[in-house]
Amino acid sequence: MTKLRFPDATTERRALGFLAGRFSFKSLDTGETFVPESALPTLALEGISFTGVGRASQSILTLRNPVAATVQ
């Protein structure tokens, strides 16, 4: 997965709407969005501006989906 940032909220909403149903992704409140590398050319062809921030680490990706805690 690759970490992206979009230049503004309007572009981010457009990108997330485009990605939904086409690619898996994670969007954080910090403004970072994680997409598979295969989504990058598709976003560019759609004319959606973005900045690649780098590769996502596995620890960041699992942070949003923690394992359910055991209830006793």
pTM of the model: 0.69
pLDDT in 10s for each residue of the chain, 72 residues: 889 999 999 999 999 999 998 998 998 888 889 999 999 999 999 999 998 887 866 545 555 545 555 555
Tokens representing 42? 């598709």
- Going from N- to C-terminal start, the domains of the chain cover 2-63
Cα separation, 5 vs 30, whole angstroms: 9
Tokens representing 31? 């403004």
CATH class of domain segment(s) 2-63: alpha beta
Longest dimension (CA), the chain: 51
What backbone torsions phi and psi does residue 10 show, to the nearest 5 degrees?
Answer: -65, -45
